[in-house]
Amino acid sequence: MTLLVSIKQRPGIGVRELAALEGISPAGMSGHVDRLERAELVERAPDSRDRRRVGLHVTSEGLRVLRLVRSRRTAWLAERLKGLTPEELEAIDTAIAPLAALLGGAE
């Protein structure tokens, strides 16, 4: 899922760039991308400005999977929040802005 999110946030990213972002070797990343491509979650497409370069894009099926995972994650979190006290909910609410800033607005 993290690779799909990274590709969605950076349409057209190359395998080498994605590998550097994720901290793994380009060869290792190529294997991961191959599996995502076989699952029809991502596609490789030539760059419109540099035809020597191939960029990665999330497919419509990949977007559907991301929405499904996000929906499940949201439902899981909502269920757990129901069991918290008002004080605990307030503490979480207070922490959201600093955490979002720390994560750089990540999804």
Contact 56, 41 (CB under 8 A): no
* Total tally of structural domains belonging to the chain: 1
> How far from chain centre, in Å, is Cα 103?
13
Residue-level pLDDT at 107: 47
Q: What is the pTM of this model?
A: 0.74
Q: Measuring CA to CA, which residue among 79, 63, 71, 58 is closest to residue 11?
A: 58
pLDDT digits (tens, 9 = 90+) for 31-69: 999 999 999 999 999 888 887 889 999 999 999 999 999
CATH number, domain of 87, equals: 1.10.10.10
Residues facing 13 on adjacent strands? 56
Domain of residue 48: give its range. Answer: 1-107
